[in-house]
Amino acid sequence: MINIDKILSVKGGCSTVVVCNQNNITALREGIFTKQQVDFVKKEYAERKVKEFSFNELQDYTLLYIVEEDEIIYQNKEKYRRLGTKALMFCDDKNITDLQLQSDCSKDMILAFAEGMLLSSYIFDSYKTDPKRCIHPFDNLHVCHKDISQKDLESLRIITQATEKCRDLVNEPATVIDAQTLASEFVSMAQETGINVEVWDKEKIEKEKMGGIIAVNKGSSCPPTFTIMEYKPEKHLNTNPVVLVGKGIVYDTGGLNIKTGDYMNDMKSDMAGGATMACTIYAAVRLNLPIHIIALIPATDNRPGDNAYANGDIINMYDGTNVEVVNTDAEGRMILADALAYAKKLNPAVVIDAATLTGAASRAIGPYGIVAMHKNAENFMEILKTCGKRTYERIAEFPFWEEYNECIKSDIADIKNSGEKYAGMITAGKFLAYFTSYPYIHLDIAGVAFNEKRDFYNRLGATGYGIRLLIEFLKTYHN
C-alpha cells in the first residue's frame, strides 16, 4: 500500500496534481502553473471542455483534473475517487514515485480522490514468478489541503488497509485458506488489535449442535471452525451490540449438487462475507470507534466427499429447527443459520450478515451494488442505504413480503433450504430470517465481492466491497 501524509505547501522537485471543479478554474495558481499553462487550460476547457491535463516539467509532471460537480454530492465524490484511479495509473505509466496533491475543493471531495488512489494501488501478484510482475513504482502521496489533517489521512489509510487485508484473504487459493487457516488469520488480526477472539473447533461445534455447519462440512477432509470476535470499548455508545455475521465457505463445489462449467472458477471467493466482517471489526478497533461490535464467522468448505450431506437429508439446526435439504449448493445459508440463531443469546441491537449467497442477486442488479433485505430493521436499513451512497457501495433493497415465506415451507420438515425458481435472493433471505428474533439486515454481496475485470479502484479479483460501507454505518450509528 502507498504511503500518505499531510504537507503544508507544495514545493519544487516533486510531481504535482491539482484538482479543481468547474467553478474555480479561474483560481489556478501561477507558481504551480505558468501563465501560459493557465491560459491554455482555460481556453481548452472553454472551447472543448477538456478536463484532464498533464504538463511535462522535464524531471517531474504537473497534472490538472477539472471535475464538473453537480447537486448530487455522493455522485461527485465518486467522480473524485475515479479520478484518483486515473492519477495512479498515470503515475505508474510515467514511473512517478512521489506525488503531491493540492486543491481548494472541499475536504470530502479531496479525501475521496486520495481514497481512489489508495484503493487503486492494490495488486495481488505474489504467485507471479516474473521479476517484472506488476509492482507499483508509485510510493508516496503528499496532501496539501487546509482542512485535511494527518488524522483524516490516517483514518483513510486504516480503512484502506482493512480493505486490502480482505482482498488478500479472498484472493488466496483454497490450498492456502481453508477453514482453519482462515480462523488463524482472524486470530492474528485480533492479537494485533486487542480484539477478544474465540475459535470453536469441530468438537465444540458438534457439542453445541450446530447442525448446519456440521452438515455442510461432512464431505470435507478439513474440519470447520466458528470464530467469535468481540470489540467492547470501555466507553461504548450502544447499550446492545451490533453483531456482524459473515459467510465463510472457503471453497464451494456445490457439494453433491456439483457446479458445472465455469461456475466453480471463482469459488475461492465464497468466504468473502466472513473476510468482510472480520476486516470491518479490525478496522473499527484501529479507528477507536466507540461501538460494541461482535463478529460471528462460521467456516468450512463444501465438497462432495464420501459422507457429504445430500438432498433429502433432514438437518437439525442450532436452535432445534429441522431443515429439509433440497439443494446442497444452498450451503451458505445452512452455516449462516446456525450463527444467526447463536446471535439471539447476544441480545443484539441489530444483526447484519454479509454473504456471497445467490447468483440471483448478481443477475438482478449486476456488479453495481448489494442486494439487501431487512426484518424489523427499517431505521437501520435507512442509515445503511445513506452510508451506501456516501461510500458508493450502494444498496438495492428488495421486498420481504410475507408471501415469500411460502417458498421455503417443507412438507416433511419445518422449512427447506431452497425456495422456488423465482426470487432466489429473497427466498434465501427468508430462510435466514427464519432463525432471527431481532432487527436483522441481510446483505447479498454475490455481485460485488469478486470482479472478473477491473472496475476503476476495484481491481480484478477480490474487491473488499462492504467494509467502507459498514465502517461508515458504525461511525453514524448509536442507540
User: Which one of 94, 259, 344, 385 is the catalytic residue?
Assistant: 259
Considering the domain architecture, whether residues 138 and 163 belong to the same structural domain is answered as: no
Q: Are residues 138 and 192 in the same domain?
A: no
Looking at residue 421, its pLDDT comes to: 83
279 within domain boundaries: yes
| CATH number of the domain where residue 394 is located | 3.40.630.10
CB 358 within 8 A of CB 446: yes
Of the residues 333, 390, 394, 416, only one is catalytic, namely 333
| Digitized pLDDT (tens) for each residue of the chain, 479 residues in all | 889 999 999 988 899 999 999 988 877 877 789 889 999 999 999 999 999 999 998 889 999 999 999 999 999 999 999 999 999 999 989 999 999 999 999 999 999 999 999 999 998 988 888 876 666 678 899 999 999 999 999 999 999 999 999 999 999 999 999 999 999 999 999 999 999 999 999 999 999 999 999 999 999 999 999 999 999 999 999 999 999 999 999 999 999 999 998 889 999 999 999 999 999 999 999 999 999 999 999 999 999 999 999 999 999 999 999 999 999 999 999 999 999 999 999 999 999 999 999 999 999 999 999 999 999 999 999 999 999 999 999 999 999 999 999 999 999 999 999 987 899 999 999 999 999 999 999 999 999 999 988 889 998 999 999 999 999 999 998 65
Quote the radius of gyration of the chain (alpha carbons, Å).
Answer: 24
CATH for 58: 3.40.220.10
Q: What is the torsional sign of CA 302, 303, 308, 313?
A: positive
The pLDDT value given to residue 399: 97
Which residue, 117, 148, 179, sits at the end of a domain? 148
153 found inside a domain: no
C-alpha cell at 127: 504467485
Grid coordinates given for 149: 489533517
Domain shared by 136 and 241, yes or no: no
Please give, one letter per residue, the 3-state secondary structure of 300-360.
Answer: EEECCCCCCCCCCCEEECCCCCEEECCCCCCCHHHHHHHHHHHHHHHCCCEEEEEECCCHH
> Looking at the 3D structure of the chain, how many domains does it have?
2
Tell me whether residue 259 is one of the annotated catalytic residues.
yes
Whether 189 and 195 have beta carbons less than 8 Å apart is answered as: yes
392: left (phi over 0), alpha (psi -120 to 50) or beta: left
C-alpha cell at 437: 428474533
Clarify whether residues 469 and 324 are in a common domain. Answer: yes
Same domain, 163 and 119: no
In a domain, 210, yes or no: yes
- Residue 361: inside a domain: yes
Q: Does one domain contain both 143 and 164?
A: no
3-state SS class at 226: strand
Q: How far apart are CA 75 and CA 64, in angstroms?
A: 20
Residue 273 domain flag? yes
Q: Is 385 a catalytic residue?
A: no
Boundaries of domain holding 35: 3-148
Select from 148, 178, 211 the last residue of a domain: 148
Alpha-carbon distance values, 114 to 79, 82, 138 (Å): 12, 10, 14
